[in-house]
Amino acid sequence: MINTLFPHKRYSFMSSNIFEMIPDNISSLIEENIIPIKLKKGQVLFYEGTIPSGVYVLKKGKIKKYATGLNGKEHIFYLIRENEILGHHNLLCKEVYSHSAACLTDCLLHLIPKEIFLSIIEDNQEILQGLLRSISHEFGVFISNSKIMAQHSVRERTALSILRLDEFFEEKGCFKLSRKDHSNLIGTSIESLIRVLHDFKKEQIIDVEKNTILIKDTKKLITVANFR
């Protein structure tokens, strides 16, 4: 579905698995040095302004990446799902984290210590190229999001977010996300989001039950989203 709607993946949270095709010796090195981490829904993996100690591979669950404004409100700018990597941006540029990451669901992660990760990418061009593709894709999504925030109405942004979240959660037309997280992803208030969702329900575009959204008419959603 997403490939039809977004042929250039400008809006998609989907990113490639950079560890999908690596030599056995590097795979063994990673397995020998990973540190498994289990977190519950709502727990924070790392905070903005802290120092990276390695990179994380998400083995199970969903994670949000967000920045916090002066008023304490979150802006969610990217979502991570199984087999994707996070924490590498600031590690590579030798800076503190520019954002925070927290669990949308219960999560299992593998931490690859900083020294191991840096030695791996130094000796393996395929992984380095995969990292560059991942960073480039995320940057492209960030630019597209900036345009959406500046030029699209809350109604249009909400429609587009539903299409993206449907792809991200892979539940075939149905997904669950808290109103707070959904509004922080769109860049609006919870009250404004609820009003738009109510309108969509009246127009028979979606159905809503608590925090679960069921898509009833994808074509109408595409029309409302008004993306280019």
152-176 confidence digits (pLDDT tens):
899 999 999 999 899 899 877 899 9
Long-range contacts, stretch 118-124, CB < 8 angstroms, 24+ apart: 118/91, 120/26, 120/29, 120/30, 123/26, 124/22, 124/23, 124/26
The radius of gyration of the chain's CA atoms, rounded to the nearest angstrom, is: 18
Domains in the chain: ranges and CATH: 12-148 (2.60.120.10), 152-225 (1.10.10.10)
pLDDT-wise least confident of 55-59, 66-70, 224-228: 224-228
Residues 56, 60: Cα–Cα separation, whole Å = 12
pLDDT digits (tens, 9 = 90+) for 199-215: 999 999 999 998 899 99
Residues 183, 171: Cα–Cα separation, whole Å = 20
Residue 101: C-alpha distances to residues 49, 58, 143, 206 (Å)? 12, 12, 20, 29
Q: pLDDT averaged over the chain? A: 87
User: What's the pTM?
Assistant: 0.84
Residues 188, 76: Cα–Cα separation, whole Å = 11
